[in-house]
Amino acid sequence: MSRQRVLILCTGNSARSQMAEGLLRHLAGDRFEAFSAGTKPVGLNPNAIKAMSEVGIDISRHRSKSVDEFAGQQFDYVITVCDNAKESCPFFPGGGERIHHSFEDPAAASKEQQLDAFRRVRDQISSWLSEFVRNNKA
């Protein structure tokens, strides 16, 4: 059985899409091959690494990637996790089903509240992806 390929897009590929990639691999890596990219990659946010490590998922070796790195590749699903990526990338050649679910940008929280925002968004993404996995049997 081949795994379904999923590309998760956000603007900076620094937090939400990175956490979603790690979570999808953790939740259903036997069924889905997960990748993430950004329309304007800016580097991996240390708080994303910390929030994910708290739930036993190591994304410290991830790197921010441009959506251009995936040009010409085929995907079963292209998921946008922020409104900017949805608007910037209305069509992805090689993309299968297009799904959008916007999550707040945890990096936009005040410095004092940022880690809590990352935890909250991580948990929201995890819940949403758990439902996605249940509803998309490979």
The residue to which tokens 């940022």 are assigned: 114
Tell me how far the alpha carbon of residue 122 is from its chain's centroid. Answer: 10
Cite the active site residues: 10, 82, 89
| Contact partners, residue 77, CB within 8 Å, separation at least 6 | 4, 5, 6, 7, 95, 96, 97, 98, 99, 136
Query: How far apart are alpha carbons 118 and 138 in whole angstroms?
Result: 30
